[in-house]
Amino acid sequence: MPPNNKNMSVQENSNNNFNWLYYALGLFFGVLTGAIITQNYIFALLGGVLGLLTAGLFLNAIVKGRKY
């Protein structure tokens, strides 16, 4: 029986998928920046949202066609 190439490509893709890291870093540094600048929890949450949006923009506009 020939090897299933579809499963092999999915496994390779999941090994190189670090998109979650960009979102986690965007969220962390967004919250950190909002908390340091304003010293207010509401703006820290707003900074986290802006960090997530920036990470999404970065992934979909800049890194979209990148080969690992």
For residue range 32-67, list pLDDT tens digits in order.
Answer: 999 999 999 999 999 999 999 999 999 888 887 776
**What residues contact residue 54 under an 8 Å CB cut-off, 6+ apart?**
26, 30
Separation of alpha carbons 52 and 42, rounded Å: 16
Q: What is the pTM of this model?
A: 0.69
Separation of alpha carbons 62 and 52, rounded Å: 15
Q: Would you say how long the chain is, in residues?
A: 68
